[in-house]
Chain A
């Protein structure tokens, strides 16, 4: 896969001045998505970092309608918006949810499952940065094993595995779901285009760089996102019904610590007494990859 560059965006569909932190994935993601989805889109956003990034009243980052809604119910609100547009003959207008991992893995999971099971004609985008970053880095069920957050009583870092959202999504037999990375923009854009064209419920999960939350150098966001894919911590794959396709197989086997060492949230795992936890992450990552390969071979 060739490195991508800024010229991928021919027609900018965002205004300048997004309120994201330096090195945040949200604003780059929004730029690419908006350039593909176009102005004939109604975005729906539950509470998340993007609620802020998209601009306070009366400002607006996206050149399209954006409906902010309650934390737990973006897929339900989007269901209502979709129904209204369809009743008015606007079937071609895209309805796209922009959510974080808290609004997807945790508080919004029920509404997500409901909309997915109904196969609503909605595109769901989750920017997974692995914690409640907007409120200041609290643990979510997407938070990686071993990561530091501000809510990990009795040890300071998480000791449970993150939820397998894509596994849950696969169980809903969706027409299209995929993972994507900002370090693999052509792949991301292809998936966004495919998702836009597909009818029914589609979901894209993007690995979300977050310098304050991951304790990383903002300049390293894309580098670390690339390493997450190269180390198989964040595999790139697609799902159509029960059919899996792995989109990128790293040429070399790179240990997970090569990605984790750039992230201050994993710093404590590099102490001698915790090194075994990096091995746990490696074993978990290898297992997940093997499972993916098995599923893709079916």
Chain B
């Protein structure tokens, strides 16, 4: 069966020699995912960067410090005393009307939880990178429990499959965040992405400048001539109305993200969508649902399984219900959905299964959940093959693969 790649990015199938000259007004560089994130912050002209180190995010803030020192990024860079303070400072600078960038991981994101809520409910646009890792017992390896557990803080969330996608998504996330006044988080995998070198196409600055104009301070920005009180005690009826407005903006975010991703393709030559469907058609018997770098492994495996397709989620919050429904629409009634979870949120089902059930409520499609790779446990092709076999042969509703 012919595979359809509705979205590209730098895929495993793209040989490097064919790539040279592929994107005009770009340079091709081999770099680690964390450096790609820092490059994106530079290209987006982040003006304020509060920083606090945490493995495996550290090289992002180290690189940003270098970029500021080298004069390649005109930003105010401040070493804070904790992630809680990092996000509180980010909030202050965003209320001051600046474009803010920072990065964190695991415990740092958990520690900032209170401030994530405040930033979102202040309706402050900013972009933050999270390099996913779980909590105690100490574990620094790839896992999305940190960011997925923050899905209800009101932030937009994207998950990047490759370093290229992380860089490109940060640019798109700023456009989206500043359009809807909602902060956005771009998540990459610990080590598999953060510390792994890949080819990355870096666009020219003026290409980015045309796509992402300077930030326009909105209603929630300090104006000394028109003083306001920000965030004071608010009566229930007004609080309710603010949340109604927030809900309306969040409801627009899915379609807007899709539109921005399409525009990005026109500007930069690399189109994206909220989801990516590979080999999903009437003959497909099984669809694996993934986020982040496990997607690349699945791409490789399903070449040998013509009856298996892939649904990659790039946007996770707001959950792209429409895109998911559209992507799965060609499936026959007997097709099966298998979800690969690299997170554990203390419930029976993983985070992605919960959202997929919500999106496909009323559908006849059978859905099975597969915990694989929690705490950074490797998910090699053979693990994906096990998931495929189990999904075809009497799976439980929720399964753990390769528990040692």
Contacts and interface: CB of A to CB of B under 8 A. Distances in A.
Interface of A: 39-40, 42, 44, 51-52, 54-57, 59-60, 62-70, 72-73, 75-88, 90, 93, 110-111, 113-114, 118
Contacts of B229: 54-55, 57, 59-60, 62, 65-66, 68
Interface in B115-174: 115, 118
Interface string B329-373: 000000000000000000000000000000000000000000000
Interface in B217-231: 222-224, 227-231
Given A77-B88, A80-B90, A90-B224, A57 B234 contact: yes
B71 interface: no
Nearest to B227: A65
27 contacts: A39-B227, A42-B224, A57-B235, A60-B228, A60-B232, A65-B227, A65-B228, A66-B229, A66-B232, A68-B230, A69-B88, A69-B92, A70-B118, A73-B84, A77-B88, A77-B92, A79-B89, A81-B95, A84-B47, A84-B93, A84-B95, A84-B222, A110-B82, A110-B85, A111-B82, A111-B84, A114-B85
A133 B222 CA distance: 30
A76 B26 CA distance: 38
Interface string B370-389: 00000000000000000000
B88 A84 contact: no
Contacts of A114: 80-82, 85
B251 interface: no
Nearest to B81: A114
Nearest to A90: B224
B190 to A, nearest CB: 26
Contact of B234 (A39, A56, A118): A56
Q: Is the interface of A mostly helix, strand, loop or mixed?
A: mixed
Nearest to A92: B224
Given A62-B227, A76-B80, 17 more contacts: A42-B222, A60-B227, A65-B229, A68-B230, A69-B118, A73-B115, A76-B50, A80-B93, A80-B94, A80-B95, A81-B92, A83-B98, A84-B93, A85-B222, A87-B48, A93-B224, A113-B81
Interface residues of B, number: 40
Contacts of B88: 69-70, 72-73, 76-77, 80, 111
A64 B227 CA distance: 5
B91 interface: yes
Contact of B96 (A57, A64, A72, A85): A85
A40 B222 CA distance: 11
Contact of B92 (A56, A60, A78): A78
A55 B234 CA distance: 10
B233 A57 contact: yes
B98 A79 contact: no
